[in-house]
Every structure is written in C-alpha cells, then in structure tokens.
C-alpha cells in the first residue's frame, strides 16, 4: 500500500525541505545574501557594458549571468524580476555608444529586456522543476512510504541535533521506542497490504497523542521511536522527566492496543516500550538507540508495558550476543551432545522410549543450561540448524539401539518455527528412510503454547504428520491457555502433563481430580498421557492409580549421555 502525499503531509516531524541552492549557501539569511549577489552581478554587468563602449558591443550578454543566477537562487519569480531589472539597466539609461553619447531606440532596449525576461522564465521554470525533484528525493530519503512518518535517516539526523542542543543547555533528552507485537498473524491472515494499512493507522493514532515538543519516527518493521526533549529548566533531570516519558508511553500503548478494522474485521495488536535517557544512558545516537532497544527487549521478554534501560543489564546483553556467536559454531566444533531421559510404562515399569535433550559443553563456560541458549536460538532463527542436528544425531542413535535389539522409540522437541520449516520435516523423512526406521519410531514434541499460538497453520500440519504415522506429543500441557474441552480439537497422539501436576499430587485431592479428568478425557480422544517430573514413589503410585500411561523423572533416571543410556537400557532389558 502506498500512502498519498496528502496523507503524508498530515503527519509530523520531518525537517522542512529547502531549495537546493539555499542548502549550499547554508546561511540563515539566504534570501538577503542572494539579493546582494544578484545586485552585485547586475552592477558588474552594467559597468562592463558602459566601459566597453555601450550596447553596440556584445557586452550586454553579461546580463544573462545575474538573470540565470537569480532563477536558481530565487526561483521563477526571481528570474523574471531580475530579467526586468537587467533590461532596465541595459535600457534607456545605457547609451548605444558611450563615447558619442548616442542613445538606444526604444525598440532596441525593449527587445533586449524581452530576451532577458524570457531567459529568466526558462531558467526559473527549470529551477522550479529541479527543486521539486530534489525535494521529492529528500522526501523519499527521509520518510517511510507506508506510515508517512520520518524514517531512520531522519531520526538519526534529528537525534544528533537534539543531543547537541541538550548538551549546550545542560538538559535531558528521552528516547522512547515502541515495538508493535503480534503482527505475524496479521500478515499471514490479511496479507501485506492490510498490514501496511494497520501500520499507517497506528502512525496516525500515535501522532495524535504526541506532546507538542515530541517527534515521532518509524524505524523499521513494527518499530516506532519518539524523541522527547526536556521541557524543564536547564539541569532538570528529576523524576518529572521520567513521569512525562511514562505518560507518553502509556498513551502510545493505549492507541496501539485499540482494535483496528481490517476488511470490516476488528483486529488488535499489542506493544511494548523501552526508554533511554541522555546523558544517563548514553552520550551519542548509537549508544542511546542501543540502550532503548535493550530496554524494549526486556519489556517484551518480561511481558511488561515498558522498561527503562538498566546499565547493569548491558553486560547481560553483550553476553547473549557472544553466546549467540558461539552457538552458531557449536555444531561444527562438536560441542553439542544429546542426553536421553527414559520414558517408562507406569504399569509395567518397562522402558518404552527416550526423550532426546540437547546439551552444550562450552569450552570456557562449561555446561550451558538449555534454558540459556534454546530461547536465544528460537528468537534468532538458529533453532532450525539445532533441530536438524538433534534429528540427525538422535535417529542415528535410535537406529543403533534397534540393531542392538533395544526396542524403544525416540522423542525429539520441535519449536513453532520448526513446524513452519517444510525442508526440516522432509529431511526427517529422508533420515528415517536412510536408517530403515518407520515414522512410528519417532515422536515429535511440540509445546502447548506453540500449538495454540499458531493453531491455524499448525493443526493441519500435525494432522498430516499423524496420518503418516508419526507420534505427536503436546508438551507442557496445562501451563498454557488450554482447557479440558480443548482436547477434542488438539491434533496429537500423546499428552505430556507438565511437571507442575506432579507437585504435591499425593497430598492434594483437587490436583488428583484434575489429573484423573485430564487422563480420562485424553483416553476418550485416543491419546496416551505421559507425566513429567516424577521424583518420588508416592507420585509414581498416584499416577499409576489415576491411569497415566507413561512417565519420566529423576525417580526413574536422570538424562544420560548416549553411551550411558545404552548401558542403562541393556542392563534393564
């Protein structure tokens, strides 16, 4: 979608475009300077004509120079007026022959004036077209075409200016960033045109709630920024500035979260904000922008409306960046390994399967917990390569167990991004065929939240996987938005109860009733139930009595490296 020029000019905050010649002069009083230059050129031309012997020579052509210069400095009107002045200066007061004092005829100087005016009109018209094109180029360079707001280039230019002013006046500048979230469902449901419409509407709403001294910018996909100069006395950096920033942020978030009609359907998105202040959080544009981005990340991660930049968190942020860089190289450096936690049939006690759990042995950090690097991989797109590595290693180990006569199945974890990656699923199919394994030997575990958040696309895919023979397990069931009634629609063969269900299960009758109801209903819909986090005999016995099918936990066995797990499995067999 393209926003009309009219719509763009209703929106605020860019630097007003200037004619190109005035940019080059770079002076406050450019019009006066231009007039002085043109006057000097006219006087010089007149002096040259007079001293050369009058208009009988070719020197009157000197007057074209001030006419053309005036056209470019002052536009069409300036060119026409200067053409008239040039005609008069080289007209009735300028003799045809200076030495003899012979005057010009009227037709002579009027014709010459006509030529000067024509030259001024042509040059002025060309200057006007050129200026308009340069203005359009500047407009395109400094505005976002979707929202009509100033873009990142304009933001950086204005931020530099705001910091210089604040430094001179010993004042504070507050930078606010707002990230619009939940845009992906809009794109997948309505398409890019409607998503652009949504962003344009949000831009107009946000502009409407801007304080008079604040400027709104659009930095990139779903990211808005506000430069909020201090409105107080020099040196004023107290709580009042923070309160003003919080007020602006809350007004913006209220507007972002108001439903928007797209194709006559009310659609709502959400948003989070980060706040950074000059000079406390940075003394240049790059540092301050990075601080606001980190604060926004923290607000998103913690599901808070907003967060101020915390200098203590910068080390954590840098540590995450370094960890991400190392994670990219971890598979190549053979730093990753799989540990396996057994899945036991709770009625017979027999080991029927194992869950593959990735571990990272970092050369300097030691064993990095999965909770530190898996979320990082999911948010940066590295989860795909990690899932591929897990599938390759896990299926290779599974094939080895089967050849050794150890009849178990394998469970591997999949993220929401993995389910959207058709090439990954095709590779898993190929790996199964290469190792002579059937899809029934593999269970794909997906968290309940991932299934619920992308159910429109996820449900159909999971049903296809089940139809091909794969096991599909809904992991961490019970911690998300689902209810027992929702079980009817879940495309799964296995339900994995979150470990929270096992806490105090032996002593809490209400917890027992919830587990029994979940198990009974899952069985009604043809699903098996696995309990996670079994850590004592009482919980094990209760789960047996409640009809739970399988379980895993430290009571039976902790996750083991592949060699140790194979020995454990062989001894148990």
| Cα distance between residue 161 and residue 416, in whole Å | 44
Q: Is 156 a catalytic residue?
A: no
Residue 375 tokens read as 């979320």
| Cα distance between residue 473 and residue 486, in whole Å | 15
Q: What is the DSSP letter of 414?
A: E
In DSSP terms, 351 is beta-bridged to 344
Question: What are the distances in angstroms from CA 388 to CA 147, 180, 349, 470?
Answer: 39, 31, 32, 17
**Cβ-contact 516, 311 below 8 angstroms:** no
**Cβ-contact 471, 442 below 8 angstroms:** yes
In DSSP terms, 143 is beta-bridged to 150
**Residues near 379 by beta carbon (within 8 Å), at least 6 away in sequence:** none
Distance of CA 248 to the CA centre of its chain: 21
Q: Of the listed 255, 445, 448, 532, which one is catalytic?
A: 532
Residue 79 tokens read as 């060119």
| Cα distance between residue 432 and residue 320, in whole Å | 35
Q: What is the DSSP letter of 143?
A: B
Q: What is the DSSP letter of 58?
A: S
**Can you tell me whether residue 339 is helix, strand or coil?**
strand
Sign of the alpha-carbon dihedral angle for 277, 282, 284, 287: negative
How many residues comprise the chain?
Answer: 573
Residue 407 tokens read as 């009849």
Which of these, 263, 566, 523, 185, lies nearest to 405 by C-alpha position?
A: 566
Q: φ, ψ for residue 358 (rounded to 5)?
A: -80, 140
Instruction: Please report how many Cα atoms fall inside a 13 Å half-sphere around the Cα of residue 510, on the Cβ side.
Output: 0
Which of these, 22, 59, 62, lies nearest to 42 by C-alpha position?
A: 62
| 3 state SS for 270-305 | EEEEEEEEECCCCCCHHHHHHHHHHHHHHHHHCCCC
Question: What residues are labeled active site?
Answer: 532
């Amino acid at each position: 979608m393209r926003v009309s020029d009219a719509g763009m000019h209703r929106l605020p905050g860019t630097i007003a475009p200037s004619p190109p010649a005035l940019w080059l002069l770079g002076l406050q009083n450019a019009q006066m300077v231009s007039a002085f230059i043109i006057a000097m050129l006219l006087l010089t031309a007149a002096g040259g004509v007079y001293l050369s012997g009058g208009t009988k020579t070719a020197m009157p052509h000197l007057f074209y120079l001030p006419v053309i210069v005036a056209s470019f400095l002052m536009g069409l009107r300036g060119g026409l007026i200067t053409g008239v002045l040039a005609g008069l200066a080289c007209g009735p007061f300028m003799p045809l022959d200076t030495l003899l004092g012979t005057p010009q005829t009227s037709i002579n100087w009027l014709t010459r004036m006509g030529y000067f005016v024509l030259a001024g009109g042509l040059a002025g018209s060309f200057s006007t077209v050129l200026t308009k094109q340069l203005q359009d180029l500047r407009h395109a360079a400094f505005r976002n075409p979707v929202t009509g707001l100033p873009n990142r280039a304009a933001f950086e230019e204005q931020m530099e200016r705001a910091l210089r002013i604040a430094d001179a006046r010993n004042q504070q500048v507050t930078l606010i960033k707002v990230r619009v979230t939940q845009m992906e469902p809009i794109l997948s449901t309505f398409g890019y045109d409607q998503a652009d419409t949504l962003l344009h509407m949000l831009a107009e709403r946000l502009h409407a709630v801007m304080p008079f001294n604040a400027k709104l910018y659009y930095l990139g996909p779903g990211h808005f920024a506000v430069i909020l100069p201090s409105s107080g006395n020099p040196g004023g950096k107290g709580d009042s500035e923070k309160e003003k920033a919080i007020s602006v942020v809350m007004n913006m978030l209220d507007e972002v979260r108001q439903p928007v009609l797209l194709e006559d359907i009310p659609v709502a998105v959400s948003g989070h904000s980060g706040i950074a202040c000059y000079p406390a959080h940075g003394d240049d544009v790059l540092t301050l922008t990075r601080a606001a981005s980190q604060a926004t990340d923290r607000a998103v991660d913690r599901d808070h409306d907003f967060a101020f930049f915390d200098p203590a968190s910068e080390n954590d942020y840098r540590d995450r960046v370094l960890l991400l860089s190392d994670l990219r190289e971890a598979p190549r450096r053979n730093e990753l390994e799989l540990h396996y936690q057994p899945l036991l049939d709770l009625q017979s006690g027999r080991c029927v399967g194992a869950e593959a759990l990735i571990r990272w042995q970092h050369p300097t950090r030691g064993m990095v917990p999965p909770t530190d690097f898996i979320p990082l991989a999911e948010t940066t797109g590295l989860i795909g390569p990690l899932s591929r590595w897990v599938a390759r290693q896990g299926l290779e180990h599974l094939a080895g167990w089967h050849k050794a006569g150890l009849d178990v199945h394998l469970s591997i974890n999949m993220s929401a991004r993995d389910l959207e990656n058709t090439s990954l699923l095709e590779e898993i199919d190929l790996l199964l065929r290469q190792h002579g394994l059937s899809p029934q030997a593999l269970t794909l575990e997906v968290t309940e939240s991932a299934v619920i958040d992308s159910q429109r696309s996820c449900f159909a895919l999971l049903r296809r996987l089940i139809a091909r023979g794969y096991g599909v397990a809904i992991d961490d069931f019970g911690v998300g938005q689902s209810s027992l009634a929702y079980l009817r629609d879940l495309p799964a063969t296995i339900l994995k109860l979150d470990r929270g269900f096992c806490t105090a299960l032996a002593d809490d009758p209400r917890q027992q009733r919830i587990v029994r109801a979940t198990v009974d209903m899952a069985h009604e819909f043809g699903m098996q139930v696995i309990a996670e986090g079994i850590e004592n005999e009482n919980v094990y016995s209760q789960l047996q009595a409640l009809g739970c099918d399988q379980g895993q936990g430290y009571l039976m066995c902790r996750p083991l490296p592949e060699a140790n797990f194979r020995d454990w499995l062989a001894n148990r067999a």
